[in-house]
A and B are shown apart, each in its own frame.
Chain A
Amino acid sequence: MVVHAEIRMVHRGGSKINFREPVITHDSRFLLCAAGESVNVYSTSTEEYVHDLQGHTDLVTGVVLNPSNHLQVYSCSADGTVRLWDFTDAILIKTFIIGYPIYSIYVSEKHGGVVFLVVPMANYKSSELFQLVAVHLPHSGDQEVEARELSAVLCDVSHHPGAASFGREGEYIAAVKGLQLEVFFFKKQKSYRFSLKSGMKKGAKNAFTCVSCHPKEDCIATGHEDGKIRMWRNFNQKKEYTYSTLHWHHGAVNTLCFTPEGTNLLSGGIESVLVHWHYTQENQKDFLPRLGAAITHIAVSPDGSLFCTSHSDNKITIIQSCVKVSAVIQGLVKGDGVWTNLIIDPRSKALVLNGKPGHLQFYSLHHDKQLYNLDIVQQEYIHEEGLDQFEVVKAAFDARGDWLATVEERRKKGAELEINLKLWAYDELTQSFVLNTTVTAPHEDRITAMFFSPSPETTMLVTTSLDGHFKAWLLADHSDANEGFWACDFVGGYHLLKPGCCSFSADGSLLSVGFQEVVTVWSPASWELLTTLSQPPGAIRDLCFGRLSCSKYLLGASTKNQLCCWNLLTCSLEWSTPMDVSLLQTDPLSENIAAFCSQSGSSDLFVFKPSEPRPLYSQKALCTGKVQHAVFAPRDQMLESCEERTQWLNRSQLYFLTQHMDLLTFSTKTEEDRLLASSKQLMVDDSVAVTPFYLLLGKHRGQQLEKQEALTNPMAERTQLPQGSIAIKELLHTPAHVLPSASFLCAMFVRSLLISSSSAREEKEHEEGEMEREKEEEDSEGEADPRLGESATWGHPEEFGAPALTKAQERELRKVRTFDHSWLSSLLDC
C-alpha cells in the first residue's frame, strides 16, 4: 500500500476482532484472537491489550493452541502460511508454507504434528469449493519450512470455521455443509453422510449452520437455520443413527460449543442470548440474556472456567462460570453503515461515529480503544431481522464540547417517518452526556445537515431538512430554577427549494445554506438574507467556508462535476474547476481543505488552500469506491516536518472511511519513526498485564530508581532500604501472635521510615540506635549502651561529665532519649 515516498496510507485501528473464534490459553490468563493481519493477545482479567503477534501478510483466518505445547499457538492466514508462535513473548517460532490460501485450521491431541486445514480445491482454484486436508508439519530446525504434502480428508466442505469439529479423542471429524452432515472416522478411514430434507413445510429451514462434537461421548450437536439444535447419536452405522431436537432460538444458530467435560452445551445466535443446555437433562437450560449483539462465536477455556463470546458488533465478552460477564473487549464497531459523519469530540479528542445500533461510540484513535458507548435511542433493542429500528443519522458537537446534538430516525415501510432531535449536555460530574431536550418531529422530512455555530457567544444549532426549511435552535434562557432547554428560534426557507447542506463561517457570523443550485448566505444575528450565489447547473452537494487567512472564500461542490470558490467580499466567483467532489473537509487548525473526488470507480484526494492555485498534495486512486466520511483529527503532538508535501499533516491527521468501512489515515516517515521508538520504550514485563495502573506505577517506580541513582554519592548509606535493617526483618519474621498489637508498632515503624531534615548519616545512626534500644528495653535490663554517648553528643551535650547515676535516674534518662529530638537539631541547624 506504499504509494508515496514519504506519505503512506495506513490502516488505523478498528480491525475486526470477531472474525474468528477467540482462544483462551491453558492458564486462562490470556485471550488470543485474530485481528486483521495479526493475532492480538489480551489479558482475560483486565481486558487490556497485551501485545500482538505480527508476521502474517494477509488476513489471519484461524488461531488454535498447539496441543503438544500449551505455550505455543498455531495461526493460519489467507497468505498461505501456518505460523507457530510463543504467545507469551510474541516470538515467531516457525513458519510453514502451504501455498494455498487457508480458511480455517483444526488440531487434535491425537494427531500430533498434524494440522487440518480448509483450503480451496486444487483443481478448481477460482471456484467456491473447499476441501479439508491434513498436513504433516515437518520437523526441521529452519525458521521457514515448506509443507506441501497435503492429504485430502474430506472434499466439498464449508469454509466457515464452525462447520467442522473433532469428535471424542480425535477419532472422527464431523463437517456440515448445506443439508449434509459428514463424519469421517480416522481408524476406519471411512466417512458416513447423513442428509436432511430441505423441509420447507411449517417454515422449517433444515440447512446446517454449525457443528460441535461431545468431547467424551459419541454425540454430535448441529445447529440449523431455523434455530433448532439436533443431537446426533449412534452415527457409526449408516442406517441406525438417531437424533433428538432442541429448540429455543428463533433465528439461526450461529455457533455451538461443548464445555471441556461435556456436561453443558452452549449455543448462541442473533438473539444475543447465551443459552446453556444441560447435556444430561436436555429440557433444562439457563440463559444469559442481553449480551448486546448477535453472538458469532463461543469459546471455552480448557479448564472450563471461562467462556468467551464474540459478537457481531466487534466485541468479545468474557463470562465467568456462566453467570457473570467479567470483561468486555470492544473494538471499533462497524455496523451496517456509518450515517453520522466522522466527528472529533472536542473534549476527549475521540472519534465519534455510529456504534452499536442506536448508540454513538467514542473511539480513542491514539489508543485504538473504544472509550464508551452513548445510548442515543434509549430503547430496548429487539434482536430480530427485518425490523425497522431507530438509527442515529446525524450528530454534531458544539465548539467546546458542552453540547451534543443527535438526530435519530426510523422509516417504516409505507408509513410516516419518525425523527427525533436530541440535545445532550455534558455533565462534568459523571463525565458524560446527559439528555437535555428531545424534539419529536423537528422537521417534516429527513434532516440533511446539522451544525452548531462555532461562535463562542451563542450556542446555536442549525438543521436543514428536505421539507424545504432550515431551522435555528437556541438554548432558551434559564430564568426558571431548572436549567434551560432548546427551542426553535427561526425557520427559514428559500422559494420552497430543498436545502441540502449548510455551513457556518469560522467565526459564526455567516451561515450559508445550499438550496439545490442556489447558495444563500444569511446573517445568524438578524436572520437577514445577505446574498445568494449560484453557478448552475448542478445542485450544491457540499459547502464549506475557508478558514484563517482564507476566510473570505466559500467553497461549494456541485453534483455536476464542479467545484466552485466564491469570494465573499466581492460576491463573485473566484475560480471553479471541473471535479466530481464527493466530500469537502476543512482542517480546523489550518487553511487546508481536503477534497475527495470519485473518478472511474476509485477516489482521489486533493489537499489545497483556497487562495493558491496549486494543490498542496494530491493522491490519485486512493482506494476503490467513494469516500463518504473523513475528518481531520488534531494531533496531540505537533510534527516538525519542513517538507512541502508533508507539511499539511503537521498539525492534524486526516482519517477517512472507505466504502468497505476501513478506517485509513495518512502517516509520514518521521511519525512512524517516532512511533517505533516509543513502542520500544514501552516494552514492559509482559508477565503482568499492561494496565494503565501498571504503567503509571511502573513509571513512578522508574522515576524513583532514577532519582536514587542520581543521588548515589551523598546518599550512599541510604540506598539500603528499611527492609534491609535487621530489626525490621526480625519484626516481619516473628509470628504475629507473639508481637504487640499492630497499632502499637505502627507509629514506631512509620517513624523509622521518616526522613528527618538533619544530615542523613546522623539520622540513620540515630534510628538504628533507637531500634536497638527498643530491643534492649524489651529484653529488659540495661547494660551500658555502647552508642549512648555517641548519640548524646548532639542530643544533650550537658549530660557530659555527669557523675555516676542511679539506676532509676538512668532509666529516666533513657526514656527521655527515646523521644525524637531531631526537630531540635533542625532548629539548631537553622
Chain B
Amino acid sequence: MASFKSTKIPIYPKLGEKVTPDTLYWKNYKAPVQIKEFGAVTSIDFSSLAPHNYAVTASTRIHIYGPFSTEPVKTFTRFKDTAYSGKFRSDGQLLVAGCEDSVVRLFDVSGKVALRVFKGHTKGVHVTDFTSDCYHILTGSDDYTCRLWDIPNSTELTSYKEHTDYIRCGTTSKLNRDIFITGSYDHTLRVFDARVEKSVMTMDHSQPVESVLLYPSEGLLVSAGGRYVKVWDLLKGGQPLVSLKNHHKTVTCLSLSSNGQRLLSASLDRHVKIYNTTNYKVVHNFDYAASILSLALAPDDESIVVGMTNGVLSIKHRKSPEEKREMVGKQRMQPVYRIFVKGRNYVPKKDDFLVSKPVKSHLAKYDKQLKKFNISKALDTALESWRRNRKPEITVAVMKELDRRGTLKNALAGRDEQNLSQLLNFLIGNVVDPRFTPVLVTATEMILDIYQAVVGQSSVVDRQLVRLQELVEREVDYQQDLLEVLGMLDTLFATSLPRKEVPCPGSSRPNGLAEGSLGAPGPQLQAA
C-alpha cells in the first residue's frame, strides 16, 4: 500500500551569480556611506599610518577623513585652481598635491600652509608622488614633462621630456628610489631611472593611459586606458602578459586588494570589477550610481572608497565579525533547541526493547486537501497571499496538479468578487513568466469561460480583465519582435558558417542536399 505522493514542486534553476568565496568576501560590506564633495573626486589616497586617514582630492580642496568619520578631519584649501593627486608620504607626515595652475604644493599633515611650493611646470600637474627614500617628489604634467624635485632644497633635479602628450598617471617604485613609471595620453608607458638621462623601458598600451599600478613585488605592471586593462611583465622587458576587456567605458582607476590576490578596476561605466590575479577572471562586480574616477582600498580591505564624477564619495566598511554573528543569532527560531532534541539523542541500553515508531510523513496543507479531494480548498490554500507572492511556483504546481486531475475548472468556479480579483491579480503577475505560462494560460482560458457571464457586474474585476488583456497583447508583440530577431540571427549565423561539402561517393545516386543545419542550442521562445 503506497502512501500519498505529494505534489511535485519543480525547482527552477536560480539565475544570477553563483555563490563563491569571493562573492561572500566582497559582499561582506555594510551599506555605503555617501559624502558629497564640491566637484568630481579625482583622487583618493590612504595614509599608511595607523588610523589610516585618507586624502580626497576634489575640486580646489583636499579633505582628509578619518576611517569612520563622515566629516573631514582636515582640509587644505590653499589652491588657486583645481587640485590633483593628493598623496601621503609613506610616513604619513607630508602630503603633496598638484594643481591646474602648474604649481606643486607640499603640506605638513598637521599644518595648513604649504611647506614647499615647486614651480617649474608650465601646465597643470596631474601626477605627484613621493619616491621611496622620501626626499624626492615625482610630478607629471600636461606640458608633457615629468620631473623630480628635491624636498629639502625645493629644487628641480631632473626633467624628462619624452612623452608626446599629457601625462596623467605615474607611480614610483617602492623598492628602488630611482625608478618611476609614467603613463601618458600618447598611449605609452615609460619606465625611468633617475640615474640615467633617458627612459629605460617603453610599453605601448595603444590607448590613452589613465592609470598605472605596480605589484608589490614590482615584477608586474598594470596599466588601464581606454576599455582595456593590461598587465606587463617588467622582468621580461615589458612583455604584455594579459589584456582584459571587461568594461564598456574607459577604465579610470586601478587598485590591489591588501593581500595582492585581487585586482580592482573602476571605470566610467559605473562598475568596479574584481579580478583574480592568477587567472585574471572577473570574480566579482560592484555597481555604483555614477561614473567612477577614483578608487582606493583601506589596508586589510577594511573599507572601499570610491569617488565619482558627480562629486559623491562612497565609503563601504567591512562588517565586523560581531555584527555578523548578531545577524545570525536574530534569525534563529524562537523554540528552544533543548525542546526539539528532547529524547532524540537517547541511546537505548543493552536490554531495552525498541519499539519503532512509524515515521509520520508531513504533508503540506494543500496536499492534505488534495488527498481528501477538496479541490477548491486546495486551490484556496495555494492562493494564500504569502504563498502566492513569495512562492508562485507552489500555486502554479497545485494548479497543474488540479488540471491533471481534470478538476481545475471546478476548483476555479464559484468564487466571489474578492476571490476572483485575487486570482486575476495572480494571473496578471505571473502569466507572462515563461516558467508558468503553459499552466496559467489554461487557467486563464477557464476563468474567462466560467466568468464571462458576470463580466460588467464588478468594476474591480472588469478593470483587471482589461489589464490582463493589455498584458497579453503586449506580450504577444514582444514575442513577435523576438522571433524577428531570432530570424535575423539565423540568417547571420547561416552566412557566417563555413559551407562544408559532405563526401558523397557514387555520384550516380541522388544524395540530396548535403549540409546539416545546426540549430542554436538553448531554450526556444514560444509565442503565448
Contacts and interface: CB of A to CB of B under 8 A. Distances in A.
B494 interface: no
B2 A292 contact: yes
B1 interface: yes
B513 A495 contact: yes
Interface in A759-818: none
Given A387-B406, A469-B519, A491-B518, A290 B3 contact: yes
Nearest to A480: B18
A358 to B, nearest CB: 10
A531 B502 contact: yes
Contacts of B456: none
Contact of B516 (A388, A493, A571): A493
A532 B520 contact: no
Given A288-B1, A325-B1, A387-B405, A532 B502 contact: yes
A416 interface: yes
Given A491-B520, A492-B518, A532-B512, A290 B1 contact: yes
Interface in B433-483: 438, 442
A754 interface: no
A291 B1 contact: yes
Interface stretch (A378-386, A454-462, A738-746): A378-386
B498 interface: no
B10 interface: yes
A583 interface: no
Contacts of A490: 521
A382 B371 CA distance: 10
A742 to B, nearest CB: 14
B262 to A, nearest CB: 21
Contact of B442 (A390, A415, A488, A571): A415
Contacts of A290: 1-4
B1 to A, nearest CB: 5
A756 B516 CA distance: 80
B495 interface: no
A444 B442 contact: no
Contacts of A388: 404, 406
Contacts of B496: none
Nearest to A418: B438
B5 A379 contact: yes
B2 A444 contact: no
A703 interface: no
Given A415-B442, A531-B502, A572-B506, A378 B5 contact: yes
Interface residues of A, number: 45
Interface residues of B, number: 36
B516 A492 contact: yes
A3 interface: no
B110 interface: no
B260 to A, nearest CB: 26
Interface in A479-503: 488-496
Interface string B488-522: 00000000000000111110011111111111110
B14 interface: no
A532 B510 CA distance: 11
A538 to B, nearest CB: 15
Contacts of B7: 379-380
Nearest to B517: A493
B519 A529 contact: no
Interface in B165-184: none
B357 interface: no
A619 interface: no
Contacts of A438: 10
Contacts of A378: 5, 8
A520 B7 CA distance: 42
Contacts of A375: 5
B370 interface: yes
A716 interface: no
Contacts of B361: none
Interface string A301-343: 0000000000000000000000001000000000000000000
A385 B518 CA distance: 43
Nearest to A274: B1
B515 A529 contact: yes
Contacts of A670: none
Contacts of A520: 516
A314 to B, nearest CB: 17
Contacts of B521: 471, 488-491
A734 interface: no
Nearest to B370: A380
Interface in B1-41: 1-8, 10
A488 B520 CA distance: 11
Contacts of A518: 512
A491 B493 CA distance: 15
A602 interface: no
A379 B515 CA distance: 43
Interface string A412-423: 000110100000
Contacts of A387: 404-406
Contacts of A379: 5, 7-8, 401, 404
A741 to B, nearest CB: 15
Contacts of A416: 438
Given A380-B370, A415-B442, A490-B521, A572 B505 contact: yes
A571 B1 contact: no
13 contacts: A291-B1, A378-B5, A380-B5, A387-B405, A389-B404, A410-B404, A440-B10, A444-B524, A488-B521, A489-B521, A491-B519, A492-B516, A532-B512
Interface of B: 1-8, 10, 370-371, 401, 404-406, 438, 442, 502-506, 509-521, 524
**Closest CB pairs A-B (n = 9):** A529-B516, A380-B5, A491-B519, A491-B521, A325-B1, A571-B505, A493-B517, A382-B405, A494-B516
Interface of A: 288-292, 325, 375, 378-380, 382, 384, 386-390, 410, 415-416, 418, 438, 440, 444, 469, 471, 488-496, 518, 520, 529-532, 534, 570-572
Given A384-B406, A492-B516, 13 more contacts: A291-B1, A379-B5, A388-B404, A388-B406, A390-B404, A440-B10, A488-B521, A520-B516, A529-B514, A530-B503, A532-B511, A532-B512, A534-B509
